[in-house]
Structure 1
Amino acid sequence: MHVLHVASEVYPYSRSGGLGDVLGALPAEQARLGAEVTVLSPWYAALAGTPQEVWRGDMPGVGPARVGELRAGGVRFVFLGLPAFDRPGLYHPDDVERFCTFGRAARPVLEALDLRPDVLHGHDWQAGLVVAHAHLAGWRTAFTIHNLQYQGRWNLPEARAWTGLPEWAFSSEGIEFHGDLNLMKAGLTFADAVTTVSPTYAQEITTPEYGEGLDGLLVRLTLEGRLSGILNGLDQDRWNPATDPDIVPFRDPAGKAPNGERLRAEFGLDAAPILGVVSRLADQKGMDLLLMALPELVREWNVVLLGGGDPLLTAALTGWDHHPRVAFVSGMNEPLAHRIYAGADAFAMPSRFEPCGLSQMIALRYGTLPIVRATGGLVDTVPGDVGFLFGDATPQALTAACAEACRVLEDRADWEARMTRGMELDFGWESPARHYLELYGGLSAGRPAAPR
């Protein structure tokens, strides 16, 4: 089977978060299982790699284009270079237009390269238009929602000409959404199968609370048997406490202590337990809840927080940096993230919603017990006899869960038994990769090209 993944980023060549991590791991695992796997992504000016140019030409309605290739881990990486992506960084305010250009150019370029996969698998809204054009050409398609909150919307009268889609597509049964073009909806509407990155999130997004206005369509997809949840995996070679070069390596709870000592020394912390946080600073991640809970948390915990994002949250957390039990580092720093995962006693994720989440899987692998809100992938990955789950998205509920963790921590045998169970959990990519291959095998190319 030849699988073509399409995404806006892929680790280690381009990455801003979890999407890039998934595209760095899932294709390689599918290749290991015997599939022929290609990944298509933009050729950014700041791409961390030097593709070999294999094609150059002019695309009608798009302009000059070029294609470069790299091969790694049994995967063929194809990078599509367009003028819209010849600038620093990955994402910009005009991304809807940029990824419409990418979406229009993708299939003709693939055909010019004689690349016709058995299944085209698009990821998140940036690939929605690629999925639409592939489906119209009769290709079998799958589409994965990594975060439904981000949908690629733009005023439809202006954006209509960007897409290259037939006129009938611009309806409420197509890609129109409250007067806007919606590229997430394009992927949902045209894909033969739609997945989310955890089973619980697949259920949650069919409700008004989590559906971001698309819950009606998602209910229909569920009834048609086209929506399911496949839990993300974790790159267990990259996140391995026994071989991690950024920490004091360890294989069991008894070997974890030196990392806690190093983290205390690094930030001048006292003997209280350490609560770690590595997160985007965003309302989705519940960082405002953590901020409001801090006055209570520091009574029992040292809090070490690494993250960047919302400038108001950044400023508010910076104001806590003088506190002897709070260490806040703004931005992202991967070696420090590894030290926090390894050195903290517990790890907080008070997310309002969480499609899957990788941080809690990493924390479990490093013997750091997660304290998480019971939502999305957090429900699917944190067992109740290992971590601590709470229901309400409030600072009070977070504080109560942290207090419970502190009480359990007093029983060292119980705590270390939880650590052992967490470190033994298998979050590898083999099972998700097999699930996706089974999904592809069941797809039919017979669905009508036009939504009815």
Structure 2
Amino acid sequence: MNNFLFVSAENDAIPDCKAGGMGDVVRDVPREISKRDDRVHVVVPSYSRLHKNGIFKTNLHFQLRGVPYTAELYEVIPKKVDKNITHYVIHHPEIIEGGIAHIYHDDPTEPFYNDFIKFIIFCTATAEAIKVGAFGELDIVHMHDWHSAALLFIKKYHPQYQDLKKMRYVYTIHNLAIQGIRPFYDNYASVHNWFPEVQLNHKELMDLRYQDCINLMAVGIRLADAVHTVSPSYKEDVLLPSRRPEFIGGESLENDLQKADNEGRLFGILNASNYNNIRKAEKGFLYRNTVKALFRWLQDTSKKYKADFLAHTGEKIMQYVGNRPKFIVSSVARLTEQKFYFLMRSPEAFEKMLARLGEVDGIFMLLGTGDPDYEEFFRDMSYKHQNFIFTNGQSEDLIDSMYLETDLYFMPSLFEPCGISQMLAMRNGNPCLVHHTGGLKDTVEHMKTGFAFDGATYEQQIENMVLRFDEAISLWQHDKPKWKKIQANAKKARFTWEKSLDEYYKSLYML
């Protein structure tokens, strides 16, 4: 039996610990490993809240900033119990929750200030837990994104943690654009402040653009035994330099990624979707679930600043309860540049698409929270356009209804390491319209399982997005047999964890 440790900022196998696709992966991959009769431990920060109903396991004693620290390791009960998986959280008063999904901080004036502090404490506590054998004798440590990469720094450079070198370390990149860059010196959230006893190898740790800073994403890529991108096409993308906004590639880390590739350490393996034990949603509750979510948020004091808008959305949705639209386009995503840059950059293109929808008595439903500028943009568009319904919040019931009842799922990502939403939409037999990039290239085939747009320049991409949108609606209007065939193909497409895990075992874990 092999013994694994997953180290991550998110884990959707436990309640209230997810902000994006990383949470899904850290939920699903251990379940698939467990089916192979291997053992998995999953550890995430407690964010001062997730430990509250947990079972205390042990105190973890270590040094940071030259002073003694004590963190607490708790076992927590998952949403679904599995005999081979144990879920843990690490609690320390300085590992605090942020405003993004009650996990991450948004520090516009000094990026990564708060997150650096909490993830440094988390990674050091995790190193101590490995050292004292809290997870047993480990074979594989699998880390996710920059939040866990300090573990590799500690293992290599910290004099107290030389014992950690014997197992295999795997590093998965979920979002290369967010890199965890902080100063080496002269700041509370700097490497030297937290590790004064460690001799810093600046060359191996530095960000190539800001050479007085560590880049934790780069540390993960440089120091892991295996580096993994979450789709084959995204692997090809990140080996090339970015040319924003036309193309998002290696984001200044392409040289590190090319080196890892040349050394046989870089692998592109597609994330998968869950086709079993799915939350059961019933058709016909889309509008009811929207109204229920809106009423709940209207009672939440933290949502008071947008109470007028929530009421406006409620009024809009009520008119569709008895008078259903003929065609529904939907999107569910965090509202960020990655997901909706095309619409923010060209509101005219978005308005053309809404006008085309209006011709077939169709509506566009968007659900999400995120960047305040994007939230404000979509609120303004909702006030202006009757057939654009923007639900500015998060609700699992409503998301399930949207995936179930949409006619066309829209995913115009500027870049997409893998993407899970298109797989969830396709699982329900809903064609997707996507930007032909990264993992969307590997999952959506134009005119077979969905629709895709591309272009050499930003202007061409925008133009083709509107064109493909029009083509999709025209196909639905005028060629129902072809539309039904695309729906059937989408539903039949299977991206299974079983297949992906075969690749994990062979390439990443070398088992």
What's the TM-score once normalised by structure 2's chain length? 0.78
Q: Deviations over 1:220-241 (max 9, x none)?
A: 111111111111111223546x
Amino acid at match of 2:355: R
Following the alignment from structure 1 to structure 2, what is the Cα–Cα distance between the partners of residues 280 and 69? 29
Q: What percentage of residue pairs aligned between the two structures are identical? A: 28
2:128 corresponds to? 108
Deviates more, 1:434-443 or 1:181-190: 434-443
Do the aligned residues in 1 keep the contact of 2:169 with 2:224 (CA within 8 Å)?
yes
Do the aligned residues in 2 keep the contact of 1:235 with 1:428 (CA within 8 Å)?
yes
Q: Deviations over 1:123-179 (max 9, x none)?
A: 0000101133345532311100000011111112142222578425322x3344422
1:386 corresponds to? 449
Structure 1: runs of 5+ lacking an equivalent: 249-257, 444-452
Deviates more, 1:259-268 or 1:34-43: 259-268
User: How many residues get paired?
Assistant: 429
2:414 corresponds to? 352
Following the alignment from structure 1 to structure 2, what is the Cα–Cα distance between the partners of residues 313 and 320? 11
Query: Residues 192 and 175 of structure 1: is their aligned pair in 2 closer, same or farther, counting only changes over 3 Å?
Result: farther
Following the alignment from structure 1 to structure 2, what is the Cα–Cα distance between the partners of residues 238 and 306? 24
Do the aligned residues in 1 keep the contact of 2:231 with 2:417 (CA within 8 Å)?
yes
User: SS state of the match for residue 46, structure 1?
Assistant: coil
Higher relative contact order (CA 8 A, sep 6+): 1
Query: Residues 440 and 117 of structure 1: is their aligned pair in 2 closer, same or farther, counting only changes over 3 Å?
Result: farther
Counting only pairs closer than 5 Å after superposition, residues 303-382 of structure 1 correspond to structure 2 as 303-322=364-383, 323-382=385-444
Do the aligned residues in 2 keep the contact of 1:123 with 1:146 (CA within 8 Å)?
yes
CA RMSD of aligned residues (A): 2.4
1:5 corresponds to? 6
Following the alignment from structure 1 to structure 2, what is the Cα–Cα distance between the partners of residues 435 and 402? 35
Do the aligned residues in 2 keep the contact of 1:64 with 1:83 (CA within 8 Å)?
no
1:298 paired to 2:354:
yes
2:472 corresponds to? 405
Query: Residues 391 and 239 of structure 1: is their aligned pair in 2 closer, same or farther, counting only changes over 3 Å?
Result: farther
Following the alignment from structure 1 to structure 2, what is the Cα–Cα distance between the partners of residues 346 and 439? 36
Following the alignment from structure 1 to structure 2, what is the Cα–Cα distance between the partners of residues 6 and 406? 44
1:117 corresponds to? 138
Q: Deviations over 1:411-441 (max 9, x none)?
A: 1111111111111111232122222122344
Amino acid at match of 1:348: F
1:396 paired to 2:463:
yes
1:17 paired to 2:20:
yes
User: SS state of the match for residue 149, structure 2?
Assistant: helix
Following the alignment from structure 1 to structure 2, what is the Cα–Cα distance between the partners of residues 206 and 390? 22
What's the TM-score once normalised by structure 1's chain length? 0.88
Aligned counterpart for 2:35 among listed residues 18, 32, 36: 32
Aligned counterpart for 2:104 among listed residues 84, 88, 91: 91
Do the aligned residues in 2 keep the contact of 1:197 with 1:231 (CA within 8 Å)?
yes
Structure 2: runs of 5+ lacking an equivalent: 108-113, 157-161, 243-248, 291-315, 358-362
Query: Residues 307 and 151 of structure 1: is their aligned pair in 2 closer, same or farther, counting only changes over 3 Å?
Result: same
2:234 corresponds to? 201
Query: Residues 86 and 279 of structure 1: is their aligned pair in 2 closer, same or farther, counting only changes over 3 Å?
Result: closer
1:56 corresponds to? 59
Query: Residues 46 and 266 of structure 1: is their aligned pair in 2 closer, same or farther, counting only changes over 3 Å?
Result: farther
Following the alignment from structure 2 to structure 1, what is the Cα–Cα distance between the partners of residues 137 and 197? 20
1:128 paired to 2:131:
no
Do the aligned residues in 1 keep the contact of 2:411 with 2:432 (CA within 8 Å)?
yes
User: SS state of the match for residue 397, structure 2?
Assistant: helix
Residue 87 (structure 1) shift? 5.0
